[in-house]
Structure 1
Amino acid sequence: MRLEDHDAADIDITNFVDEFSHCFTGECRVGVLQTLSQISRIITASDDLAGSLPLILAVMRQQLKMKRGLLTLYDRASETIFVHDSFGLSDEEKARGAVLPGEGVIDKVIATGKTLIARSRRGARAVFDKEKKSRAETAFICIPIIHAQKVLGALAAERGYMNPRLRAQDVEILTMIAAMIAPAAELYLLETLEKTRLEQENRRLRNTLGQRFRPDNMIGGSKSMQDVYDLVEKVAATKATVLILGESGVGKELVANAIHFNSAASDGPFIKSNCAALPESLAESELFGHERGAFTGALSLRKGSFELADGGTIFLDEVGELSLSIQAKLLRILQERTFERVGGSRSIKIDVRIIAATNRNLAEMVEKGLFREDLYYRLNVFPITVPPLRERGSDVITLADHFVTTFAAENNKPVKRISTPALNMLMAYHWPGNVRELENIMERAVILCEDEVIHAYALPPSLQTSKESGTSFGVSLESKLHSVEYEMIVEALKNSSGHIGDAARELGLTRRMLGKRLERYGLNYKTFRAAGASGDDLG
């Protein structure tokens, strides 16, 4: 294949019009000038590549008698050359849609920024199907589209030529067209491809969030949590108002996330509002927004949480902390889905799903006159009670292992498991702070850990006292030593799969000394021998 290359900026068009007027080549190109002027006016008026491209391809096909033509653009972010529009391509070529770097003439033009002409059928075959036999020499002309010294793509065409001067004229015409459409091509790449990338990234993030908060991905397999999962799955498919009940730290916000991201409104906004953190003077403005000049300091219009959640879900955490006046306005939204901004008179209608949560007993608050009875019944359409951690059985261990893995990775520590004595203490504790307290305790334990195992002495004193945890070890020096000794013996027995001799050697004791300590702590080496095959089943 013979290739001729030209610098797009160096093409001499001084005698361009003169050559056209004499028609020395057998095909007159004078009529093309009027069309080029028309293309220029269209591009100047709108910078719209889609608006001018059909006319450009028509000129190439009808007036220049090209058999095939295409406009390719170069996406720098993905390093992909793709066909934006074309004519004369086969179905297979159209189906491909993209030309990967290194595949032929177009790639070389975009890489070098220079015009290339493939002057044989073999050269043309690098991009197109095999040309039918003809006495005319087939030429594949490829012109770079350059703007601000950046190659944006290429304009390419193929036809047979009997006269080399006609081919040179067509190169000049295509070069002029490429220069005219360069600004529109850059605008298209900036707007269309960047918008597409942002949309794809947005979908990816939403899919990630949806996967993260799906009920079947929530941690814990206890019966009480399975009941919660079932309720979440059922109510997520509806638009019913949900009231999530439970103690502080049980994960009510996690349940709200699961409901939203498994609902039909998962593509819509998910706005969270902590009612307990809203000052009385600002609560109405935060939730419902305000008009400009509604009060001192209201310098501009502000949308509230409800308006921002339109088309999605609003999560009202600690709804029991709202004042009676705000409760009245919330009741109207639940009934009519309309409200007015502070200082405004126009009713705003919204389509929003309301999820509320509280750790307070709303029924008791109603009896005491602290919470509106009508609002309570409006919120209590579909109640979900999240159980406290002390009622979730082995979920304590599952959650603890999860937090250890997470914090070990965050802190670059080789922590692999939790020791048996530490697990016993975790299971015995009553967890007044629920999952949030467990998370904080495991983060602290990982930070204090000096080897690959979370030991009991890395847990806070509240878990190590008999009063708080129900365990038999106090905080006196003697009790602390017994605690450490007990844990070391258990670890040695686990490592040796219950073999007394190996465990004694690891601890630096005789078999007799180890036997006495086993009696002291009520340990049976056979238990560890039976569990040896299961590795960490005991901790």
Structure 2
Amino acid sequence: MNPVPYMETLRRIAADMGPQRGFQASLKALLALLAERHGFLRPHLVIFDPETRTLRLCVAGGAPRSEQVVYEPGMGVTGQVFVTGKPVIVECLKGHPVFLSKFFVRTEEELSSLAFLSVPVLAPQAGWEAGREQARKVIGVLSLDTPCAPREVLEQHRCFLEVVAGMIAAQAAYLQDDMARQQRLAERRGERPHVAGNLDGGIVAVSPPMCEALQRATYAGHGHGPVLLRGEPGTGKARVAAFIHAASMRNELPLVRFYGSRLNASGPDGLSEEQAERELFGYRKGAFPGAVQTRKGLFELANCSTLFVKDIDRLSLSLQSRLLHVLQDQAVTRVGGGQPVSVDVRFICSASADLEALVASGEFLEDLYNRISVFPILLAPLRERPEDILPLAELFLKAAAEAAGRVVERISTPAQEMLMRYPWPGNGNELARCMEQAVQGCDDLVLRAAHLPASLRHDGESRSALPFNDAVARFEQELLVDALQHARGNMLQAARDLQVSYRIVNYKVKKYNIDPRSFA
């Protein structure tokens, strides 16, 4: 046996392991690697779905008959491997009494020339004790076709496949958890998609960058490790943190939040470093003047739930050090000492600053950076995802109108164009404030360009700075374009909507050189 090809494949698998591409994508790449390097055919992973108690095809390196095909435990070779927890080698597929060939189409020639290998995927081992073999349940089955060969060669392939199955056990467990999670979320939301924020209070994922970020956030919801949300202020990091928590197995308990921006900030919400330490880690009775009773900190309050620390880059080195110890030890020591209190907390944090630069300058602990940056999610600024601007504007408009007790049904076409031209340096936060300000001055069912802040005008001029006649002409054009847009180019309908004669609409269309057909 030449172990070199196997070892090189295992090395490449180990190097690619991790959630960077998502579990589904990384497993698909792994199966492609098995086919490419060893000539294996149709490698596929089947996962046991505890909700339906069936074996479902989860990832395949070939085109299956249907992704809806399932196996019952004990059915066929796959079902037997799941029930017994022992690998099976079928030396030749043709005429085998148990092999069912349900997942893939195989020709008669292939059935005569191919063997089949199937090994169990065991749940990840939580711990190990010397001299004691721990019982581990089977959560899936990894199988593939390979050309018929002597039994010795097939045994070598089987040993190699068992090692691969052990390496992907964690990903398989995540996928099994995901099956249960998707079932719960489907029941809870009636199969509604994750768009425009049923979970999150304002996430819009239309643009490719935001769709990718939200997909990674979904993967993060499956996991248990720290998550780092990166992006400019106002890009929605707090909303994505709430999304991750809602998509996790901990969503029965509330998300606990700490805002680093409050540290040393002025105003009633500002915190000194000592107050922030007490809020995060709690304190014992008598730890300082005024500590008349022992109080839990946010880490203890987030036990079995999720703690979100916003703007972790604002924390002092002292607070960073204490935070690192809690994440390493999964235990918190309150201010004033005492025995450490064990906590089971999912940790999510966000940063707007360049953490790598802060580490290089000694302003951020390198060990803490390494611990929190295992699963980073980058949220692009709004100027790099223009597809999200109008859906977000409509979302914020609806919220602002409801808060103000007004009815604003839509945004006019000229106003939409103005929103799209603006670069939004303040990102989503600035857009939300813009909609709030616009609603305050809107006394119509339609939000028009005149209602938007003057700072949004691409030429930097406010409407009041224009000559009177020019301002009137611009407003006329806006009303006319909006009416034609709404009437889909029908000038008669536009005249009815504007409550003027057709003759006036026709005159204004020619005056401003507007082509009604462009709105059809």
- Counterpart position of 2:272: 279
Residues 191-202 of structure 1 aligned to structure 2 (within 5 Å) = none
CA distance in 2, matches of 1:453, 1:405: 12
CA distance in 2, matches of 1:216, 1:441: 18
Q: Tell me, yes or no, if the aligned pair for 1:489 and 1:507 is still in contact at 8 Å.
A: no
The equivalent position to 1:514 in structure 2, one of 499, 503, 508, is: 508
Higher helix share: 1
- Counterpart position of 2:440: 447
1:352 aligns with 2:352: no
Question: Residues 366 and 467 of structure 1: is their aligned pair in 2 closer, same or farther, counting only changes over 3 Å?
Answer: farther
Residues 365-404 of structure 1 aligned to structure 2 (within 5 Å) = 365-404=358-397
Residue 504 of structure 1 deviates from its aligned partner by: 6.9
CA distance in 1, matches of 2:493, 2:302: 64
Structure 1 runs of 4+ with >6 Å offset: none
CA distance in 2, matches of 1:318, 1:385: 14
- Counterpart position of 1:318: 311
- Kindly provide the amino acid, as one letter, of the partner of residue 310 in structure 2: D
Q: SS of the counterpart of 2:347? A: strand
- Kindly provide the amino acid, as one letter, of the partner of residue 432 in structure 1: P
Q: Tell me, yes or no, if the aligned pair for 1:222 and 1:392 is still in contact at 8 Å.
A: yes
Q: Tell me, yes or no, if the aligned pair for 1:239 and 1:353 is still in contact at 8 Å.
A: yes
Q: Tell me, yes or no, if the aligned pair for 2:277 and 2:319 is still in contact at 8 Å.
A: yes
Question: Residues 480 and 289 of structure 1: is their aligned pair in 2 closer, same or farther, counting only changes over 3 Å?
Answer: same
How many residues were matched structurally? 319
Residues 89-488 of structure 1 aligned to structure 2 (within 5 Å) = 214=199, 218-277=203-262, 278-467=271-460, 475-478=465-468, 479-488=470-479
- Kindly provide the amino acid, as one letter, of the partner of residue 273 in structure 1: F
- Kindly provide the amino acid, as one letter, of the partner of residue 385 in structure 1: L
Question: Residues 267 and 496 of structure 1: is their aligned pair in 2 closer, same or farther, counting only changes over 3 Å?
Answer: closer
Q: Tell me, yes or no, if the aligned pair for 1:400 and 1:442 is still in contact at 8 Å.
A: yes
Question: Residues 388 and 474 of structure 1: is their aligned pair in 2 closer, same or farther, counting only changes over 3 Å?
Answer: farther
- Kindly provide the amino acid, as one letter, of the partner of residue 237 in structure 2: K
Q: Tell me, yes or no, if the aligned pair for 2:280 and 2:299 is still in contact at 8 Å.
A: yes
Question: Residues 497 and 334 of structure 1: is their aligned pair in 2 closer, same or farther, counting only changes over 3 Å?
Answer: closer
- Provide, for residues 276-325 of structure 1, a one-character-per-residue CA deviation record: whole Å limited to 9, x for no partner: 21321212111111111111111111111111111111100110011111
- Counterpart position of 2:518: 527
Residue 394 of structure 1 deviates from its aligned partner by: 2.2
Residue 495 of structure 1 deviates from its aligned partner by: 5.2
- Kindly provide the amino acid, as one letter, of the partner of residue 443 in structure 1: E
CA distance in 1, matches of 2:495, 2:199: 48
CA distance in 1, matches of 2:243, 2:505: 55
Q: Tell me, yes or no, if the aligned pair for 1:288 and 1:303 is still in contact at 8 Å.
A: yes
CA distance in 2, matches of 1:443, 1:216: 16
CA distance in 2, matches of 1:251, 1:512: 45
Q: What is the Cα-based RMSD across aligned positions, in Å?
A: 3.0
Question: Residues 312 and 396 of structure 1: is their aligned pair in 2 closer, same or farther, counting only changes over 3 Å?
Answer: same
CA distance in 2, matches of 1:338, 1:356: 18
Q: Tell me, yes or no, if the aligned pair for 1:213 and 1:254 is still in contact at 8 Å.
A: no
Q: Tell me, yes or no, if the aligned pair for 2:299 and 2:307 is still in contact at 8 Å.
A: yes
CA distance in 1, matches of 2:464, 2:458: 5
- Kindly provide the amino acid, as one letter, of the partner of residue 466 in structure 1: D
- Counterpart position of 1:175: none
Question: Residues 496 and 355 of structure 1: is their aligned pair in 2 closer, same or farther, counting only changes over 3 Å?
Answer: closer
Q: Tell me, yes or no, if the aligned pair for 2:300 and 2:343 is still in contact at 8 Å.
A: yes
Residue 274 of structure 1 deviates from its aligned partner by: 0.7
- Percent identity over paired residues: 38
Q: Tell me, yes or no, if the aligned pair for 2:421 and 2:458 is still in contact at 8 Å.
A: no
TM-score (norm 1): 0.55
- Counterpart position of 1:125: none
CA distance in 2, matches of 1:350, 1:410: 39
CA distance in 2, matches of 1:349, 1:300: 20
Residues 490-505 of structure 1 aligned to structure 2 (within 5 Å) = 490-494=481-485, 497-499=488-490
- Kindly provide the amino acid, as one letter, of the partner of residue 518 in structure 2: T
CA distance in 1, matches of 2:348, 2:308: 5
